[in-house]
Each structure stands twice: as C-alpha cells, then as structure tokens.
Amino acid sequence: MNALDDELLTLKEAGERLRVSPSTIARMIDRRELAVTRLGGQPGRPLRFRRRDVDDALASWSHRGAQ
C-alpha cells in the first residue's frame, strides 16, 4: 500500500477513473459496490472516494468480464 491508495477523489474524479456517470456511481453506492465518505458525515455534504476503493471496483469489473 502506498500514499496514493488513501488519496480522496471527488465524485467527478471517481467517475472519470471508472468511466461512468454520476448516476452510475450513485447506483454503485446504493448496491454497496463502492465505499463512500461524506465530508462532515451528513447527507448533502460532498462525497469523496478512496482511490483504492475505486481501483478495487474497477478490478472487480475486469475479473467478472474475464470469466
């Protein structure tokens, strides 16, 4: 693990990394496929995603597609 693993990404950055829309990210959060942190811990606050969690989600898609 390195320092980049814990880097926090914005919704836009996570979407760009996964190449999906914000609505797809919202569905991933609802299905618990992607962990999210709310700054301030309350609804309506900005969302952040750990780079490691985004990369893990991307890797899981790759593994499912290879089966």
3-state SS string over the chain?
CCHHHHCEECHHHHHHHHCCCHHHHHHHHHCCCCCCEECCCCCCCCEEEEHHHHHHHHHHHHHHHHC
Residue 40 belongs to domain with CATH number:
1.10.1660
Give per-10-residue mean pLDDT for the chain (67 aa). 79 95 93 89 84 92 59
The pLDDT of residue 20: 95
The pTM score is: 0.77
Total of domains in the chain: 1
Domain that includes residue 55, residue range: 3-66
Give the pLDDT confidence score for residue 65 in this predicted structure: 54
